Amino acid sequence: MKYDVDRPIKADKRLPAGVADRLPDGIADETARREFFMREAIKLAKTAADAGDVPVGCVIVRHNEIIAAAYNEREKEKCATYHAETLAIERACRALGGWRLVACEMFVTLEPCPMCAGAIANARVPKLYIGAPDPKGGAAGGMFDLFKTNVNHKPEIFRDVLADECGELLKSFFGKWR
Ligand SMILES: [Zn+2]
């Protein structure tokens, strides 16, 4: 099947409240662009923390438009697979009407776990931007690196995008709950 990278998005993106629809005009610098989208993911991570969930947020962007956004809802929805990335991938697939996230970029505040790294490979996400590293549970070089195996798809990975801000969020969350 041939994939149209410019195919229109269905109207029902249903982004969580307060999330930007797209990159504002005037941001031409690549670093500023990455940080803009990571800040949207950080907003979502804060929403997760407010609900008692580990603060992880994720946005999926296509042509500088946010097509899906999610945050960790494991506690809120009492479901082990409701990580920010899996929820965002599901929503992006629905928005695009297909499971291959061609021409998409994922911004996530914490290095993905093995489940999410697997989902990222399965969805063929071309570019992955990571905020904070996760030396204990990360599957993109922290605990191990799924993308250094023979997995059938490897995204291009950009690390440490606002890593300090993303990490602080986690630190203060665990400080509060311990
Ligand atoms: Zn995960």
Cβ neighbourhood burial of 31 (10 Å; 0-12, 13-18, 19+): exposed
Distance 61 CA to ligand 1 centre (A): 18
Nearest one of 48, 33, 40, 39 to 15, comparing CA atoms: 40
Number of Cβ within a 10 Å radius of residue 37:
25
Angle (nearest 5°) at CA 21 between 20 and 23: 80
Catalytic residues: 85
Q: Percent of the chain scored above 90 by pLDDT?
A: 89
In this predicted structure, the answer to whether residue 177 has a pLDDT above a threshold of 80 is no
Q: What is the pLDDT of residues 114-163, one digit of tens each?
A: 999 999 999 999 999 999 999 999 999 999 999 999 999 999 999 999 99
Give pLDDT, residue 118. Answer: 98
- Integer-rounded Cα Rg, in Å, for the chain is 15
Distance 114 CA to ligand 1 centre (A): 7
Under the banding of pLDDT at 50, 70 and 90, the label for residue 30 is very high
Nearest one of 178, 128, 136 to 153, comparing CA atoms: 128
Q: 160, 140 in Cβ contact below 8 A?
A: no
Q: What is the pLDDT of residues 95-106, one digit of tens each?
A: 999 999 999 999
Under the banding of pLDDT at 50, 70 and 90, the label for residue 178 is low
pTM: 0.95
Distance 155 CA to ligand 1 centre (A): 16
